[in-house]
Amino acid sequence: MRTLAQLKKHEKGIIKGFNDDTLSVKLMEMGCLPGTEVSVDLIAPFGDPIAIGVAGYCLSLRKNEAACIMIEE
């Protein structure tokens, strides 16, 4: 199972679920819902954090947080 952290720049995926309950609530509030399409828009110069396009806006998060978001194959 791939996570959001493993996507390459400009790659797209659909959120399948989360592997962390506490973080999932925060992420869902920000529009990262299961079934939503996300794309990796920016990766900071040293590889972390990343910025994703979700629900029509740009959200930045760290690699380890992105690793909590599972992507549909």
Q: Which residues bind another protein (CB under 8 A)?
A: 21-31, 33-34, 41-42, 44-49, 51, 55-62, 65
- Find the shortest distance in angstroms from Cβ 2 to another protein: 20
- Find the shortest distance in angstroms from Cβ 50 to another protein: 9
Identify the DSSP state of 4.
G
Question: What would the two tokens of residue 59 be?
Answer: 């959200």
Of 2, 8, 4, 67, the C-alpha closest to 43 is: 8
Of the two residues 23 and 70, which places its CB atom closer to another protein in the complex?
A: 23
- Find the shortest distance in angstroms from Cβ 5 to another protein: 13
Q: How far apart are CA 23 and CA 42, in angstroms?
A: 21
Coil vs helix vs strand at 71: strand
Of the two residues 3 and 34, which places its CB atom closer to another protein in the complex?
A: 34
